[in-house]
Amino acid sequence: MSTFVVVGGDAAGMSAASKAKRDDPNLDVVVFEKGEWVSYGACGLPYYIKGEIQSLESLVSVTPEEFREERDIDLRTGHEVVEVDPEKQTVTARGPDGEIVQPYDSLLLATGAAAVTPPIDGLDREGVFTLGSMSDGADLREYVSRARLEDELMQPDRGPACQFLETCRGPVGVVGGGYIGVEMAEALAANDFEVHLFQRGDRILKSFSEATSQSVLDHLGEQDIAVHLGASVKELAGGDRVEAVVTTDERVPVDMVLVGTGVDPRTDLAEDAGVELGETGAIATDAYRETNVPDVYAAGDCAEATHVVTGEPAYVPLALTANRHGRAIGKTVAGLPTEGGGVAGTAAIKAFEVEAARTGVLNHAEAREAGFEPLTETITAKSRAGYYPEGGTVQVTLTIDEPSGRILGGSLVSEYGEGAVHRSHALVGAVTEGVAVDELSNYDLAYAPPFNTTWDPVLTAAKVVDGQR
């Protein structure tokens, strides 16, 4: 009987464990998870903090009990793996009852990622949060709930300075204008906080097209989010508690700060075991997600994947890739070698009342490095037939390789519900299959007046950029 050991009980780890056990019930599957939560939807945390989701438990797709009892997986929560010995094929885990040494035939490292610690003073002050784990989510929700409760309690005793204000609470700061920053700006604003968002660069959502970034930025302005662009945050100043965000240019008083400046892959355990990292800093693997160490796999937010456009390793730590690669490893370990596919760098976001998605390569420097000659065009088109009573606009950016016409990347934004995100499905296929823009413009996409104009905005964008070649 063979043993498959998994380190890390979230998306990649539990997908692999479940699939391996399902496809080969004779396999012993052991999962070590250092925390108490497994298989949770961290992507849902902003909506929990916002108050749209009532319990942390509802973010869990499968409970530890279900893994243990229904899926027959030896899931050991509260166990941190401290060493991997590839010679002896064992892992050492530290749990409530001390250390155990567990032999493996196959091993998956699914150790995830940790919030980046940016070079900012005062990160350890009270009132400074990150959002990486379920307990981070619980802390933030508690902060928001307490503030709301205080609002209610303070109401009758409001001082004269407060009486014309909606709330006596001070403003809050969000450092970082990526997915987490923007989603948390929405979650906090929905709870009546005055939100200041600090972004180091000259635009938010920098993996999206410039046009998409600008559209979302404009919308954040409409929603009264104070976005500070080009803001280099030096310090989160205060005493025990944070009192202000200090940049090179200004000092903005705040009661709380969320720091969301990206994640780094957790690779210590792998490195100690002689597992090689790639140039992105994450664990390098082959197409089957196997590392340089035989029978040791890596997947999820700790590992690289191959970009479908550049063919080069990329680090895109997102949920679907973790699930997909975990599942592929599960099949491989159960006896059917399976490639998990590449990444297109696809991402989607809802920001207040707009939605946006991006896929492929949009950045011209990246495109040139991969040997392309990039050309980018952006169009704005109606989201439904012009005469249809509902509807808005969809803005589509396409980046192509000018000589070949190959679609390298796309970015879309629309009002929420007007389909930017689902329409991006067409572009994911195009970048994955290496479709040229004139081919795409001939696609027989679905049309009916409640859903688009005769030429879907994606087709209009293809026609326009094709015309610029």
Alpha-carbon torsion angle 294, 278, 263, 211, nearest 10: -130
Structure tokens at 422: 């689902």
Nearer to a second copy, 230 or 450 (CB): 450
Site string for a second copy, 234-253 (x = CB under 8 A): --------------------
By three-state DSSP, how is residue 273 classified? coil
**Cβ at position 187, least distance to a second copy in Å:** 12
Structure tokens at 196: 């200041």
Q: Considering the rule CB under 8 A, would residue 164 count as an interface residue with a second copy?
A: no
Element containing residue 227 per DSSP (H, E): strand 226-228
d(CA 86, CA 66) in angstroms, rounded, equals: 30
DSSP bridge partners of 378: 397
Is 328 in contact with 289 (CB distance < 8 Å)?
yes
User: Is 43 considered catalytic here?
Assistant: yes
By three-state DSSP, how is residue 209 classified? coil
**Cβ at position 346, least distance to a second copy in Å:** 5
Is 29 in contact with 4 (CB distance < 8 Å)?
yes
Nearer to a second copy, 173 or 409 (CB): 409
**Cβ at position 344, least distance to a second copy in Å:** 4
Q: Considering the rule CB under 8 A, would residue 121 count as an interface residue with a second copy?
A: no
DSSP state of 276: P
Nearer to a second copy, 256 or 381 (CB): 381
How distant, in Å, are the alpha carbons of 162, 164, 223, 247, 319 from that of 192? 15, 15, 11, 24, 30
Is 301 in contact with 13 (CB distance < 8 Å)?
no
Q: Considering the rule CB under 8 A, would residue 44 count as an interface residue with a second copy?
A: yes
Please enumerate in sequence order all residues whose Cβ is within 8 A of that of 91, keeping only pairs 6 or more positions apart, or say none. 5, 7, 32, 81, 83, 84, 85, 101, 102, 104, 107
b/e burial code for range 369-406 (CB count within 10 A of at least 16 → b) = ebebebbbbbbebbbbbeeeeebbbbbbbbbbbeeebb
Residue list 355-374, contact with a second copy (CB under 8 A)? 355, 357, 359
Q: Considering the rule CB under 8 A, would residue 133 count as an interface residue with a second copy?
A: no
**Which member of 343, 396, 437, 462 binds a second copy (CB under 8 A)?**
343
Q: Considering the rule CB under 8 A, would residue 306 count as an interface residue with a second copy?
A: no
Element containing residue 365 per DSSP (H, E): helix 364-369
Site string for a second copy, 52-71 (x = CB under 8 A): xx----xx-x----------
Q: Considering the rule CB under 8 A, would residue 432 count as an interface residue with a second copy?
A: yes
**Which member of 310, 419, 461, 465 binds a second copy (CB under 8 A)?**
419
Please enumerate in sequence order all residues whose Cβ is within 8 A of that of 312, keeping only pairs 6 or more positions apart, or say none. 306, 370
**Cβ at position 103, least distance to a second copy in Å:** 31
**Cβ at position 126, least distance to a second copy in Å:** 29
Q: Considering the rule CB under 8 A, would residue 35 count as an interface residue with a second copy?
A: no
Structure tokens at 238: 């205060």
Q: Which stretch binds a second copy (CB under 8 A): 1-9, 75-83, 132-140, 342-350?
A: 342-350
Catalytic residue among 43, 162, 168, 302: 43
Q: Considering the rule CB under 8 A, would residue 286 count as an interface residue with a second copy?
A: no
Other beta carbons within 10 Å of 218? 12
Q: Considering the rule CB under 8 A, would residue 407 count as an interface residue with a second copy?
A: no
**Which member of 229, 348, 370, 436 binds a second copy (CB under 8 A)?**
348
Nearer to a second copy, 111 or 323 (CB): 323
**Which member of 123, 385, 436, 464 binds a second copy (CB under 8 A)?**
385
Q: Are β-strands 113-115 and 256-259 bridged in parallel, bridged antiparallel, or unpaired?
A: unpaired
Q: Considering the rule CB under 8 A, would residue 173 count as an interface residue with a second copy?
A: no
Is 256 in contact with 271 (CB distance < 8 Å)?
no
- Which residue from 212, 222, 445 is spatially nearest to 347, judged by alpha carbons? 212
**Which member of 86, 112, 181, 345 binds a second copy (CB under 8 A)?**
345
Structure tokens at 444: 């027989």
Nearer to a second copy, 293 or 398 (CB): 398
**Cβ at position 282, least distance to a second copy in Å:** 16
- How many residues touch a second copy (CB under 8 A)? 69
**Cβ at position 78, least distance to a second copy in Å:** 24
d(CA 119, CA 123) in angstroms, rounded, equals: 9
- Which residue from 380, 410, 411 is spatially nearest to 395, judged by alpha carbons? 380
**Cβ at position 188, least distance to a second copy in Å:** 17
Alpha-carbon torsion angle 281, 283, 286, 292, nearest 10: 110
Q: Which stretch binds a second copy (CB under 8 A): 89-97, 108-116, 260-268, 334-342?
A: 334-342
Active site (catalytic) residues: 43
Q: Give me the residues that bind a second copy (CB under 8 A), please.
A: 11, 41, 43-44, 47, 52-53, 58-59, 61, 308, 318-321, 323-324, 339-350, 355, 357, 359, 385-389, 416-417, 419, 421-426, 428-430, 432-433, 435, 439, 441-451, 454-456, 458-459
